[in-house]
Amino acid sequence: MYNRVYNFSAGPGVLPVPVLERARDEMLNFEGSGMSVMEMSHRSAVFEGILARAENGMRRVMNIPDEYAVLFLQGGASLQFSMVPMNLYQPGKPVDVIHTGSWTKKAIVELGKVAEYRLAASTESEKFRRVPRLDEIDLNPNASYVHLASNNTIAGTEFHGFPDTGDVPLVADMSSDILSKPIDVSKFGLIFAGAQKNIGPAGVTVVIIRKDLAERAGDSLPTMLDYRTHIGKNSMFNTPPTWGIYIIALVMEWLESTGGLVAMEKRNKEKAALLYGAIDATGFYSCPNERESRSLMNVVFRVRDGDAALEEKFVAEATAAGLMNLKGHRSVGGLRASIYNAQPLDGVQALVDFMAAFEKKYG
Ligand SMILES: *Cc1c(COP(=O)(O)O)cnc(C)c1O
């Protein structure tokens, strides 16, 4: 009806059509206000209602306990690489990092500027083709906190269980798998995620923080970089990313109407099984990653063990067939299909059908 393509972009990624339709319907006159959400004061009662819908929606969908704040910030997940240590690092207590790919590498660079850290585990020597097993992670009980990326968007690996860090807060960059399955938020000290993969549009970053941890910060932090500022003002210290927050409210309502995270996980597993099944079916396609570590969100694969010319053909022919953004990240090459929450099973089926036809032609 809309001539939409199947969009496998790693981010910003596909959004649910019902959310886009609702935003369209409400675009020029939001609930009788006579204006769009983009045009209204963030201090208006109407917008305060939208903010509450987004926050309460996240709380219901993720079952977030009351002792956690849900913040809608700016600066992307990337700013959290700095903000987390600026607020949570305690001098003399190095941060433990579980290093699993490009995004933990970027976090490490920022950590190095403001904190001490050590690697509690790293799979760099194996080219990040897996995440560490829980028994390989060497945790320091005296760490300020533990940092990990729950899903490695570029490498295509994902933690399918989390280490027990005891009294040491666990901080997770969940940018690319938040809301893809139920998780126990109480096991984490802080969760952050740029919205543009599984939550909403670019420009808003969700931070879920156990409120007592915000009290670790000294008094010298810039106001905007201090979590207490945003907790105290309920993300309204300054103008928040109002449009992004509105779309998040709609995405949460869509998630609830489709059965919440239990149903979402089931669909995500189904989609991933279909795609990995096609990759594993013959020797023509291959996934470089260890089976136990494979991501359900970002499926990385190669054609004929990394035949770059054939992979280029794959991308070109897929694009012509309306299957978009399948080129792997420039740092790893190959192909990558991001199959976030809003990617319909039909999209994955279309990709699998295309793969079979492509193999028939060139295999
Ligand atoms: C995309 C991504 C980021 C960076 O997000 P920005 O919002 O662009 O800063 C960080 N971590 C992970 C795991 C990501 O997938």
Q: Is 13 in the pocket of ligand 1 (CB under 6 A)?
A: no
Q: Is 244 in the pocket of ligand 1 (CB under 6 A)?
A: no
Whether pLDDT at 199 is above 90: yes
Residue listed under structure tokens 């300020």? 144
CA of 77 to the centre of ligand 1 (A): 5
**Atom number, ligand 1, closest to the C-alpha of residue 150:** 13
Distance CA 286, CA 152 (A): 18
Catalytic member of 96, 177, 181, 197: 197
CA of 148 to the centre of ligand 1 (A): 13
Mutate to test the pocket of ligand 1, among 176, 198, 338 (most ligand atoms within 8 A of CB): 176
**Percent of the chain whose pLDDT exceeds 90:** 99
Catalytic member of 103, 226, 243, 271: 103
Domain with CATH 3.90.1150.10 in the chain: 259-362
CA of 154 to the centre of ligand 1 (A): 10
Q: Is 100 in the pocket of ligand 1 (CB under 6 A)?
A: no
Predicted pLDDT at 1: 83
Mutate to test the pocket of ligand 1, among 78, 100, 174, 179 (most ligand atoms within 8 A of CB): 78
CA of 11 to the centre of ligand 1 (A): 9
Mean per-residue pLDDT for 49-72?
A: 98
Residues 309-356: tens digit of each pLDDT: 999 999 999 999 999 999 999 989 999 999 999 999 999 999 999 999
Q: Is 104 in the pocket of ligand 1 (CB under 6 A)?
A: no
* Atom 14 of ligand 1, residue of closest alpha carbon: 175
Q: Is 156 in the pocket of ligand 1 (CB under 6 A)?
A: no
Predicted pLDDT at 278: 98
* Atom 3 of ligand 1, residue of closest alpha carbon: 77
Residues 64-86: tens digit of each pLDDT: 999 999 999 999 999 999 999 99
Predicted pLDDT at 308: 96
Residues 255-305: tens digit of each pLDDT: 999 999 999 999 999 999 999 999 999 999 999 999 999 999 999 999 999
Residues 201-259: tens digit of each pLDDT: 999 999 999 999 999 999 999 999 999 999 999 999 999 999 999 999 999 999 999 99
Nearest alpha carbon to residue 22 among 274, 200, 227? 200
* Atom 10 of ligand 1, residue of closest alpha carbon: 77
Q: Is 77 in the pocket of ligand 1 (CB under 6 A)?
A: yes
Domain with CATH 3.40.640.10 in the chain: 18-257
Beta-strand relationship, 6-7 and 323-324: parallel
Whether 103 is a known active-site residue: answer yes
**Atom number, ligand 1, closest to the C-alpha of residue 194:** 7
Task: Say whether domain 18-257 belongs to CATH 3.40.50.10490.
Answer: no
Predicted pLDDT at 51: 98
Predicted pLDDT at 18: 98
Residues 92-108: tens digit of each pLDDT: 999 999 999 999 999 99
Quick one: CATH architecture of 259-362?
Answer: Alpha-Beta Complex (3.90)
Q: Is 149 in the pocket of ligand 1 (CB under 6 A)?
A: yes
* Atom 12 of ligand 1, residue of closest alpha carbon: 175
Q: Is 192 in the pocket of ligand 1 (CB under 6 A)?
A: no
**Atom number, ligand 1, closest to the C-alpha of residue 195:** 7
Whether pLDDT at 147 is above 90: yes
